[in-house]
Each structure stands twice: as C-alpha cells, then as structure tokens.
C-alpha cells in the first residue's frame, strides 16, 4: 500500500516484511518519507 499521512505530512509504502515471509500471520514494515526527505523504516507496522 502506498499513501500519504496528512497529520505528519509523510508518504509511506507498506509491504510484507521479507524476514517473516514464512510466518502464518503477516508482519508489515513501512518505509516513510517526510517533506524534508527524511526516510524512516517502521518495523512491525500496524495498519489503522
């Protein structure tokens, strides 16, 4: 999923974490980029 989070003004790309691809319950990671071009990886990301 790709989206834009308006509260913190950042773009995000959410994907399945390849480290846990064999798990029964999928684990997500998110890569975010804010307006200042700061990049962050959020492990065990929860969709709201």
Q: How many structural domains compose the chain? A: 1
In which domain, by residue range, is 7 found?
2-43
pLDDT, residue 30, reads 96
pTM of the predicted protein model:
0.76
> Quick one: residue 44, left, alpha or beta (phi over 0 = left, psi -120 to 50 = alpha)?
left
**Residue 31 domain flag:** yes
Per-residue pLDDT of the chain (48 residues; tens, 9 = 90+): 999 999 999 999 999 998 988 888 889 999 999 999 999 999 999 887
pLDDT, residue 39, reads 98
The token pair at 15 is: 């994907």
pLDDT, residue 24, reads 87
**Residue 20 domain flag:** yes
**Residue 28 domain flag:** yes
pLDDT, residue 35, reads 95
């Amino acid at each position: 999923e790709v989206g834009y989070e308006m509260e913190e003004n950042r773009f995000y790309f959410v994907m399945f974490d390849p480290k846990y691809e064999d798990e029964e319950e999928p684990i997500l990671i998110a890569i975010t980029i804010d307006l200042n071009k700061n990049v962050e990886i959020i492990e065990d990301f929860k969709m709201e």
